[in-house]
Structure 1
Amino acid sequence: MHAMQYEFTLPADYDMGIIRTRVARVAHLLDDWDGLGVKTYLLRERGVHGSPVNQYAPFYLWNTVEGMNSFLWGEGAFQRTVGDFGRPGVRQWTGLAFEEGAAGGSAPVIAVRGRRPVPEGAQFASFMADAVGETERLAAEDGAVLAAAAVDTRAWELVQFSLWAHDAPKAEGDVFQVLHLSAPGRDRLPRGRQW
Structure 2
Amino acid sequence: MHALHYDITLPADYDMEIVRHRVASRGHALDAWEGLGLKAYLIRERDVAGSPVNQYAPFYLWNSVEGMNSFLWGGGFQGIVDDFGRPSARQWTGLAYEAGGGDGSRARTAVRGRRPVPVGVPLGEVVEKAVRETGRLASLEGAVLSAAAVDTARWETVHFSVWEHDAPEADGAVFQVLRLSTPELDRLPRGRQW
TM over 0.5: yes
Aligned to 2:6: 6
Q: In 1, Cα distance between the equivalents of 2:3 and 2:103? A: 19
Which runs of 5 or more structure 2 residues have no equivalent in the other structure?
none
Paired residue secondary structure (2:106)? coil
Q: Deviations over 1:49-102 (max 9, x none)?
A: 111000000000000000000000003x11111011000111000000000002
Q: Deviations over 1:96-132 (max 9, x none)?
A: 0000002145521100000010011221111110100
Q: In 2, Cα distance between the equivalents of 1:141 and 1:104? A: 13
Q: Deviations over 1:10-32 (max 9, x none)?
A: 01110000000011111000000
**Which range moves more in the overlay, 58-67 or 100-109?**
100-109
> Structure 1-normalised TM-score?
0.98
Q: Does 1:186 align with 2:168?
A: no
Tell me the C-alpha RMSD between the 2 structures: 0.8
Q: In 1, Cα distance between the equivalents of 2:114 and 2:103? A: 23
Q: Paired residues, what number?
A: 194
Q: Does 1:57 align with 2:88?
A: no
Paired residue secondary structure (1:61)? strand
Are the aligned partners of 1:108 and 1:178 in contact in 2 as well (CA < 8 Å)?
yes
Matched to 1:34, the amino acid is: E
Aligned to 2:39: 39
Matched to 1:121, the amino acid is: G
Q: In 2, Cα distance between the equivalents of 1:24 and 1:118? A: 37
Q: Does 1:128 align with 2:127?
A: yes
Matched to 2:171, the amino acid is: E
Are the aligned partners of 2:37 and 2:61 in contact in 1 as well (CA < 8 Å)?
yes
Paired residue secondary structure (2:88)? coil
Q: In 1, Cα distance between the equivalents of 2:176 and 2:7? A: 14
- TM alignment of 1:92-111, pairs within 5 A: 92-104=91-103, 106-111=105-110
Q: Does 1:159 align with 2:158?
A: yes
Aligned to 1:70: 70
Q: In 2, Cα distance between the equivalents of 1:91 and 1:121? A: 25
Paired residue secondary structure (1:82)? helix
Matched to 1:136, the amino acid is: G
Which runs of 5 or more structure 1 residues have no equivalent in the other structure?
none
Q: Give 1:152 shift.
A: 0.3
Q: In 2, Cα distance between the equivalents of 1:104 and 1:129? A: 27
Residue identity over aligned pairs, in percent, reads 67
Aligned to 1:147: 146
